[in-house]
Amino acid sequence: MSIRSSISPLLRGTASLSHLSKGSFRITRSSSFTSSIKVSTHRYLSTTSNFKMAAQDTPSGKEVQKDDNVITNWVNPSDKSGEFKRQQSTFRSFISSSPGSEFPPEAGRYHLYVSYACPWANRTLIARKLKGLEDIISFSVVHWHMGPKGWRFVTDEEAEQEDVKGEGVVPHEGGLSHLREVYFGVNPEYEGRFTVPVLWDKKGGKIVNNESSEILRMLNSEFNGLIDEPFKSVDLYPEDLRREIDETHEWQYDLINNGVYKSGFATTQEAYERNVKALFEALDRAEKHLADGTEGPYWFGERLTEVDIRLFVTIVRFDPVYVQHFKCNIRDIRSGYPAIHKWMRNLYWNIPAFKDTTNFNHIKFHYTKSHTNINPLSITPLGPVPDILPRWEEVPAVSFRG
């Protein structure tokens, strides 16, 4: 079967293919698949003019060449190892309910600058919703496009475009154009990356913290005096599980959360292969734990913790982005990891905090149209379709295998 003959039915939205045996395929019709592909096609075709506007943010080649710290240089060009090395966060203060704290918990005082595309920022939005902090901590979302100047805020016109709009996607209330201006407003000599999330103190005009794992902890505990049950009883870092949570984070962060980036941003074959193999070994480990090591729907059985949040934001992006864009294609989640797939979909479909803070438009467009070193033509693939499967539906290969 030629590539052309196998893909034509998919582009017409009338059929799907499942691999049955070597050299043979079965055609299966699906109305949900048809509607999904039509929606996805419309989504991508409608963004051409909008991306032209996003590209205007990119400085001229001459300006870029003058800047030795271009934010889209994910690996230092002079680093012959080809390894992506994540920068440490700079602002590490804490909101604390302790007497005399510089940043005490107060309703309306703090603001989160986030990106729906960024998994690290997505963590904080999930925790904010799980803890019932919507009326206590405000948030705003940057445009999905990242140019050499970093994240930028949307304009009034862009905020209403189909590929951009979402809760909190609004222009900066002070008229700033880029997130970097928030950083420079605090420290004019700042030389690090202009990352999200940023926890901002509106009263003091300061950045409290830009380390997502620490913000996650603050949201979990420091505002409990301002919220009612059942949100107060939500504990994402319970004392009796802290050792196990920390141990799990240690390998999942390095090998999975950051592993996809170390694979995708690698600039040598050796660095890519080393990291992508380690990534899939870690996914195998996670699959085994979820299949055999827990009796509940969450990583620790019946108790939802920050491990579920931190792993989810990577896994939900895996098939739509990391498989093709970061070349993490040894297996995908939906056909290669049934226990992880079930765990992820339970979170997405059954807990609004996960689904409501996942924006596949921002996710897909950011990676494929911002990382021009990986995808120079900024073409966004249509698949997979759908972005995430319904809770009880499987891809044909898994259904057949079952």
pLDDT in tens, the chain (402 residues): 333 333 333 333 333 333 333 333 333 334 443 444 444 444 444 444 444 444 444 333 333 334 444 555 656 776 767 776 667 778 999 999 999 999 999 999 999 999 999 999 999 999 999 999 999 999 999 999 999 999 999 999 999 999 999 999 999 999 999 999 999 999 999 988 899 999 999 999 999 999 999 999 999 999 999 999 999 999 999 999 999 999 999 999 999 999 999 999 999 999 999 999 999 999 999 999 999 988 899 999 999 999 999 999 999 999 999 999 999 999 999 999 999 999 999 999 999 999 999 999 999 999 999 999 999 999 999 999 999 999 999 998 786 665
> Do the beta carbons of residue 57 and residue 64 sit within 8 Å?
no
Single out the residue of 149, 165, 167, 166 nearest to residue 157, CA to CA. Answer: 165
pTM over 0.85: no
> Do the beta carbons of residue 343 and residue 318 sit within 8 Å?
no
Max CA-CA distance within the chain? 71
Tokens of 141: 């979302």
CATH architecture observed for domain 39-85+238-401: Up-down Bundle (1.20)
Q: How far apart are CA 220 and CA 131, in angstroms?
A: 7
Tokens of 240: 């009796």
**What are the backbone dihedrals phi and psi of residue 179, each rounded to the nearest 5 degrees, phi first?**
-65, -30
């700042």: which residue's tokens?
Answer: 190
Cα torsion 73, 79, 85, 89: sign: negative
Q: How far apart are CA 233 and CA 138, in angstroms?
A: 22
Q: Check: CATH 3.40.30.10 for 110-226?
A: yes
Single out the residue of 115, 165, 112 nearest to residue 138, CA to CA. Answer: 112
Kindly list the distances between the CA atom of residue 387 and the CA atoms of 136, 230, 393, in Å, as whole numbers in the listed order. Answer: 32, 31, 13
Domain regions of the chain by residue span: 1-38, 39-85+238-401, 110-226
DSSP 50-115: HHHHHHTTSPPHHHHHH-TT-TT--S-TT-TT----PPPPS-B-----STT-SS---TTTEEEEE-
Show Cβ contacts of residue 105 under 8 Å, excluding neighbours closer than 6 positions: 95, 96, 97, 222, 223, 225, 226
Burial class (CB in 10 A: 0-12, 13-18, 19+), 66: exposed
118 is catalytic: yes
> Do the beta carbons of residue 270 and residue 82 sit within 8 Å?
yes
Tokens of 11: 């582009």
Among candidate residues 71, 75, 112, 118, the one labeled active-site is 118
